[in-house]
């Protein structure tokens, strides 16, 4: 690949990253407003057009009335109310299709024009496959809420969220490697300890995000709405209520919320420690700015999480807490990339 091709592919991947981020943001609103189960059929290749007549709307509404969510939760919903939740899920799926096209069509063109080398072609093919699996997981998640329980499986919801972050992270790293790395300015990597620290920080953030997925899936944020204690207890009595013991980590709201609080606290102090160590290590200007932004971002994220909890999960704050997690993840990935590769305009002192 020529340097120009690398830059071009990198910039295209940045656009795809922005679309995945928008998917996460819209998906958060869809989940929080209870709109995700409004479309009861999966039509990945057709069904792009919404209902175009009153008859078509009535047919879709009748299908929705057969779901457990309608029977147990929204039994008094009118057609107009159904339209309100339908449009959010519709646009979420439409954005998913659009993101797939924005990725696939340029990818096919690059391959056809032989603008990609073999390793890049394989990597981008893997990213496309992962994106397809993400769409499939989204449907499997929705399907879990259409059988008997009017709520989606927390396991599938967390898998859907985790795949979104994995897809975004892989795409972002590839974009930076191609676009920034194309300059050939690898002027020196960070000290080995900082490389390891940044890697484990990204890992810790990812685990914390996954624990947040279980909080959302089990609706664990609606209980124990006090902080820092959980109804006056440092460790809730209900933590080990379920049997076998391991299932508490994934299905017991008390345990899930406590675990997320613990992971968030560890992540916060890890970022603070990373910032203190990094600012004295004379990093390149871009990394120094990113370190400051990372510290500010983790403070905002913690405050959003606490406010969401204390105010009994208002939609706007819960949505901001989810969306801001991706900002935090992006900054951590950016820092880790520069520390790992040394692709900066200036070296570490």
**Do 151 and 244 belong together in one domain?**
no
**Do 111 and 214 belong together in one domain?**
no
pLDDT value for 184: 44
**Do 200 and 349 belong together in one domain?**
yes
**Do 176 and 51 belong together in one domain?**
yes
**Do 211 and 166 belong together in one domain?**
no
**Do 296 and 277 belong together in one domain?**
yes
* Final residue of a structural domain among 154, 184, 214: 184
In degrees, rounded to 5, the angle at the alpha carbon of residue 301 between the alpha carbons of residues 295 and 303 is 105
* Final residue of a structural domain among 126, 155, 184: 184
Which residues touch 53 (CB under 8 Å, ≥6 apart)?
A: none
**Do 223 and 127 belong together in one domain?**
no
pLDDT one-digit tens code per residue, 33-85: 888 888 887 776 656 778 888 998 998 899 989 888 888 888 888 999 999 88
Positive or negative, the CA dihedral 170, 172, 173, 175 is: positive
The domain in which residue 285 lies consists of 187-349
**Do 246 and 159 belong together in one domain?**
no
**Do 224 and 164 belong together in one domain?**
no
Is residue 326 within 8 Å of residue 165, measured between CB atoms? yes
Is residue 201 within 8 Å of residue 317, measured between CB atoms? no
**Do 300 and 263 belong together in one domain?**
yes
DSSP per-residue codes, 54-120: HHHHHHHHHHHTTSHHHHHT-TT--HHHHHHHHHHHHHHHHHHHHHHHHHHHHHHHHHHTT-S-HHH
* Final residue of a structural domain among 184, 208, 238: 184
Q: How many domains does the chain have?
A: 2
Which residues touch 259 (CB under 8 Å, ≥6 apart)?
A: 211, 214, 249
pLDDT value for 345: 47
Per-residue pLDDT averaged across 93-114, rounded? 93
**Do 120 and 208 belong together in one domain?**
no
Percent of the chain with pLDDT over 90: 63
Percent of the chain with pLDDT over 70: 94
**Do 106 and 206 belong together in one domain?**
no
């Amino acid at each position: 690949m020529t340097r120009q091709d690398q830059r071009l592919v990198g910039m295209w991947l940045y656009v795809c990253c922005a679309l995945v981020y928008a998917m996460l943001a819209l998906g958060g609103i869809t989940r929080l407003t209870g709109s995700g189960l409004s479309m009861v059929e999966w039509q990945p290749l057709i069904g792009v057009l919404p209902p175009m007549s009153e008859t078509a709307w009535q047919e879709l509404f009748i299908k929705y009335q057969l779901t457990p969510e309608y029977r147990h939760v929204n039994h008094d919903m009118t057609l107009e109310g159904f339209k309100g939740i339908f449009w959010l899920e519709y646009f979420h799926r439409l954005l998913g299709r659009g993101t797939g096209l924005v990725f696939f069509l340029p990818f096919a063109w690059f391959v056809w024009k032989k603008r990609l080398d073999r390793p890049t072609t394989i990597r981008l093919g893997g990213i496309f496959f992962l994106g397809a699996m993400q769409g499939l997981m989204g449907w499997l998640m929705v399907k879990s809420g259409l059988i008997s329980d009017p709520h989606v499986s927390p396991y599938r919801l967390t898998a859907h969220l985790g795949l979104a972050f994995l897809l975004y992270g892989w795409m972002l790293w590839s974009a930076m490697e191609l676009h920034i790395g194309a300059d050939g300015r690898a002027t020196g990597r960070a000290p080995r300890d900082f490389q390891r620290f940044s890697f484990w920080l990204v890992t810790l953030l990812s685990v914390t995000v996954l624990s947040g997925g279980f909080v959302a899936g089990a609706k664990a944020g609606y209980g124990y709405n006090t902080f820092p204690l959980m109804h006056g207890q440092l460790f809730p009595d209900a933590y080990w209520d379920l049997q076998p013991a391991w299932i508490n980590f994934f299905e017991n709201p008390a345990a899930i919320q406590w675990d997320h609080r613990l992971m968030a606290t560890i992540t916060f102090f890890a970022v603070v420690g990373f910032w203190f160590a990094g600012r004295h290590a004379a990093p390149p200007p871009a990394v120094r700015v990113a370190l400051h932004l990372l510290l500010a971002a983790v403070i905002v994220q913690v405050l959003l999480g606490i406010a969401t909890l204390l105010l009994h999960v208002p939609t706007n704050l819960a949505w901001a807490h989810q969306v801001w997690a991706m900002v935090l993840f992006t900054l951590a990935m950016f820092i880790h990339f520069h520390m790992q590769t040394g692709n900066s305009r200036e070296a570490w002192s």
